[in-house]
Amino acid sequence: MVVGDFPIETDTLVIGAGPGGYVAAIRAAQLGQKVTIVEKGNLGGVCLNVGCIPSKALIAAGHRFEHAKHSEDMGIIAENVTVDFSKVQEFKNGVVNKLTGGVEGLLKGNKVDIVKGEAYFVDSETVRVMDENSAQTYKFKNAILATGSRPIEIPGFKFSERVINSTGALALKEVPKKLVVIGGGYIGTELGTAFANFGTEVTFVEAADEILAGFEKQMSSLVKRNLKKKGNVEIYTKAMAKGVEETANGVQVTFEVGGESKVIDADYVLVTVGRRPNTDELGLEQVGVKMTDRGLIEIDNQTRTSVSNIFAIGDIVTGPPLAHKASYEGKIAAEVIAGEPAEIDYLGIPAVVFSEPELASVGYTEAQAKEEGLAVKASKFPFAANGRALALNAAEGFLKLITRKEDGVVVGAQIAGPSASDMIAELGLAIEAGVTAEDIALTIHAHPTLGEITMEAAEVAIGSPIHIVK
């Protein structure tokens, strides 16, 4: 092993080059810091390589296939539509390669030093970075931890060629005939839906009362109903996965529901029951960084850990494991290190599921607002009353606006419908800027667009709806 003789000095050391780490590194460099970023895998982290981006490429391809087969209502009739899954994978990989290459270019363009290897803390100002052939010591003034998370492996379901996590599902070389999905959260629902659109028989096994339990029931119920309408999807809720046996050509999954034991044969079982923070191999005990029982790092409202010059962001701190949350926190950390008065405010962070229909939520739900003691009004407008939604043959869903009764300020919004993932941004801005429902209603929205639904919901909130009866 070749060992570096002298420490390399840097102002800010970022560990992890996912959407939290690389954004933090770039922002820190923009603010005049000398920055080094360490990554043991591929630049872009889970999100760009085996998460958000490739899954959306797979979802988009599944939608294309589904639409090609079922657009008779619009007069489009296609026969003998087939899937070349190797081409689907080529498309997905091409998207990933473009983005990961772009990240490298952005880091280099901002003069960030990129180091490959695993980092281990020696003390609160020093890490050792090791790869297969060498080791080097780095001295830093501040460090930002952005090491992300990995899929949880549950008892009785040890990952293998047939018992797969989200990474394995995205790398499949063929469309499975049958797939069991353990866990009906956003990852399981998205990937299960994608394969169902390709023709796979999908069985969901979810321990909670509903799939997508983090969303309001009236939203998740739309997704559940659409999945069942496909004809090749079965959903079991309040169900507990018990074990799996691998057979010559697949798996046999046992689960319990309603006091009854069930066994299902499938090609693969996809386990998506959550993610575990990557904090166990950094040597954090060497420097006294405080952590929770779950392995999450405790931080203050400026992303600072219990060690004043070490910051932590993304999946390794409290909150939903979302790429855009990690990026947001990364900017906060870089700015605090630079002496700026930045603080975390999670209210405007949206949650999105690329399901059918798409779901998106930002700020408070009606129930959450009331729990916080806020007097609020919920105003709803249906996609079915919007011309663009009807023209898209996608008129299912609604937008709900949550406003304070005292002044009409927007404090939350929930959307279930096509392009909900894009529409939610306007409402996130409304919350950040303290906009009122009247402000939105007075903003001219282009016609015919789905964006008009936001304006129409605001008109409901101020008591003057045009396109539904008051």
pLDDT in tens, 412-449: 999 999 999 999 999 999 999 999 999 999 999 999 99
pLDDT of 2 > 50? The answer is: no
Enzyme catalytic residues: 447
Length of the chain: 470
- Report the mean per-residue pLDDT for the chain: 96
230-248 burial, b for 16+ CB within 10 Å, e for fewer? bebbebbbebebbebeeee
At residue 221, what is the residue type? Answer: S
Share of the chain above pLDDT 90, in %: 97
DSSP 169-220: HHT-SS--SEEEEE--SHHHHHHHHHHHHTT-EEEEE-SSSSSSTTS-HHHH
At residue 204, what is the residue type? Answer: F
Cα Rg of the chain (Å, integer): 24
Measuring CA to CA, which residue among 2, 4, 67, 10 is closest to residue 36? Answer: 10
Query: Which residues line the annotated binding site for FAD?
Result: 56, 147-149, 315
Pick the CATH number of 163-273 from 3.40.50.300, 3.50.50.60, 3.40.50.1010, 3.40.50.1100: 3.50.50.60
Residue 470's pLDDT band (cuts 50, 70, 90): confident
Angle subtended by helix axes 52-69 and 85-109, to nearest 10: 150
Burial of 2 (0-12, 13-18, 19+ CB in 10 A): exposed
Query: Which residues line the annotated binding site for NAD(+)?
Result: 183-190, 206, 274
pLDDT of 1 > 70? The answer is: no
Residue with tokens 């999908």: 202
Domain ranges of the chain: 2-150+276-346, 163-273, 357-461
More confident residue, 334 or 6: 334
Q: How far is CA 151 from the centre of its chain?
A: 13
Measuring CA to CA, which residue among 462, 412, 420 is closest to residue 437? Answer: 462
Just give the CATH number of 2-150+276-346: 3.50.50.60
In CATH, what class is 357-461?
alpha beta
At residue 60, what is the residue type? Answer: A
pLDDT in tens, 224-281: 999 999 999 999 999 999 999 998 899 999 999 999 999 999 999 999 999 999 999 9
357-461 has the same fold as 2-150+276-346: no
List % helix, strand, coil for the chain (3-state, nearest 5): 35, 25, 40
* Cis peptide bond prior to 448, omega within 30° of 0: yes
Phi, psi of 26 (to 5 degrees): -65, -45
Measuring CA to CA, which residue among 3, 279, 316, 1 is closest to residue 121? Answer: 279
